[in-house]
Amino acid sequence: MSDERLQKILAQWGIASRRLAEQMIVAGRVRVNGNIARLGQKANPDRDLIEVDGVPVKPTDRPACVYLLLNKPAGVVSTCRDPRARSKVLDLLPPKLRYGQGIHPVGRLDADSTGALLLTNNGKLTFCLTHPRHSIAKTYQVWVRGDPPETVLQAWRQGIILSGRKTLPAKVRILDRAGDQTLLEIILSEGRNRQIRRIAEQLGYPVVRLHRTAIGPILLQPPGSPILPPGCYRPLEDAEIIFLWNLVNLTSISVPANLEEHSI
């Protein structure tokens, strides 16, 4: 293993996120070969003695890579920590995955939204999948208030100006109608903050419920299988993991040295 920045090592070992690891280093809680570490310092766990609060970090303690699909329920936030003490996606995992593994969400669904959310402890994959250069399609079922006509749907498909910048083309079609609400299927290849909700509000058809059913070919309900229940998770299949890495490898992206494990 080559030398790597200490904060990256601590994150890969599931000890802390990059940001928290940096804070621990600045606070003098990390030592390398008996000396207090400095921010930006590199080390090699196979050669150097790294200690956190006096406890050695052993190369054999590094957790294996984990790739999960979670069906996020409403009212749960897609973060690892929340100052308002709300329920978090990691709270839905068993203790053996919740602690010491470095698992974090890949992207976010807002608290009121539900559905497919990837979780992993592979920071490089997280960075690459959330980089604007990638265009992994995400499929949503969205109930909106009212009955949007074809002209509105076509405008949505072509792109809407949000914060001074036009959205990428989207696929939008009607799946159902019930009373004063319409169910839309929306497929996006970008993920700006609350994008669907903001567009729907701007067009005059506010979102009532928003549910993500798929991330690329990774489905909450694969053909011939029962749907993943809300609040539950499953490991990704080998083919699904290969799809994600193939997508990453199609585009060369330089991962910055200060990459945060919990970006987005």
Name the residue among 113, 112, 121 with its Cα closest to residue 80. Answer: 121
Report the distance separating Cα 245 and Cα 238, nearest Å: 11
Catalytic hit among 53, 91, 110, 112: 110
**Please, what is the Cα angle at 119 between 189 and 209, to 5 degrees?**
55
* Residue whose entry in the numeric block shows the structure tokens 């909450």: 220
Report the distance separating Cα 38 and Cα 28, nearest Å: 8
Concerning whether 112 is annotated as a catalytic residue, the answer is no
Instruction: List the catalytic residues.
Output: 110
